[in-house]
Amino acid sequence: MFNIFKKKKPNQPQSTSIVDNDANDIAVESELTTEASTTVEQEPESVITAKESPQETTLELAPEPSAEPQPKPSFFSSLAAKLARTKASIGSGIADLFVGRSIDDELYEDLETQLLVADVGMHTTQNIIEHLTQTTQRSTLKDGDALLGALKEYMAQLLTKIEAPLIPEVPDGQTGPFVILMVGVNGVGKTTTIGKMAKQFQQQGKKVMLAAGDTFRAAAVEQLQVWGERNNIPVVAQHTGADSASVLFDALQSAKAKNVDVLIADTAGRLQNKDHLMQELEKVVRVIKKLNPDAPHEIMLTIDAGTGQNA
């Protein structure tokens, strides 16, 4: 009996440890359940936050009322606005220089600066200053207002010569033909304008000849020859790449021999800041003057004929 009870006593701690392990498992499961419930409880908060953010974004990105499109200004209105700014810089800007001032070197320097700012050009500006200086030395101009009047009068004389219509007639005492040299940048319509001018002079009863001086641009010679064929007008030309001065020299010789009234010479397009091209143009003028010191009688700068490649 006692031996039996002694054997059972060691088994009691084992049952106790089993109970303890079960309790630990239950505690672990309880903790896991608690964490799971905590996680489940936190998820609705994140969902609520996700729902609120789009509402706030929608309020911030609410479309604003679109502005009515402004009408695009026409070409002539834009041109008029630009000319108005130029007129203001030339008119009021220059007129203010002479108010209450005496005629001295400082006034001439300020006037020269204002003319250059108004883009009158260096050559024309120097011509104006030189003329006003000589005028004040010969006359009795005392103040700036009198000098302003002399400036207006001289600029009107310069513009009157330009706005006069072109009359292709050689002045008395000079030999013909009347030589017109066409110059300008690329693509403004020099060659096309030559064709139109030749037709107009022909309708006025003039005997016209064309010179294909643009030997640089591809098909420039052929283009001028087409205009000559359409109007039944002779064209003096050489191959592409030939010396432009040589072409014009031959053309002027032929025009004088055939008693031509008007010789219109085409030239290659060039920018005024390309020094070597401007020297080439000066060479053309020198060669022409060897045959006729008075030629060319007219140098026409084609700004934009509206028919060239840039139109």
Q: Rounded to an integer, what distance in angstroms lies between the CA atom of residue 132 and that of residue 150?
A: 7
Give me the pLDDT at residue 231, please. 92
Contact 245, 236 (CB under 8 A): no
Q: Which domains does the chain have, with CATH numbers?
A: 75-163 (1.20.120.140), 178-301 (3.40.50.300)
Name the pTM for this structure: 0.59
DSSP per-residue string spanning the chain:
-HHHHHHHTTHHHHHHHHHHHHHHHHHHHHHHHHHHHHHHHHHHHHHHHHHHHHHHHHHHTPPPPPPPPPPPPPHHHHHHHHHHHHHHHHHHHHHGGGTT-B-SHHHHHHHHHHHHHTT--HHHHHHHHHHHHHHHHHS---BHHHHHHHHHHHHHHHHHHHHSPP---PPTT--S-EEEEEE--TTS-HHHHHHHHHHHHHHTT--EEEE----SSTTHHHHHHHHHHHHT--EE---TTS-HHHHHHHHHHHHHHTT-SEEEE------TT-HHHHHHHHHHHHHHHHH-TT--SEEEE-S--SSSTT-
Among candidate residues 222, 271, 221, 223, the one with its CA nearest the CA of residue 242: 221
pLDDT at 180: 96
Per-residue confidence (pLDDT) for residue 222, from 0 to 100: 93
pLDDT at residue number 99: 79
Over the chain (311 residues), the average pLDDT of each successive run of 10 is 48 46 48 46 46 48 61 76 69 75 86 87 92 79 82 90 83 87 90 93 95 91 94 93 93 94 94 87 94 92 68 51
What local confidence, expressed as pLDDT, does residue 204 receive?
Answer: 94
What is the reported pLDDT for 303? 84
Residue 15's pLDDT is: 44
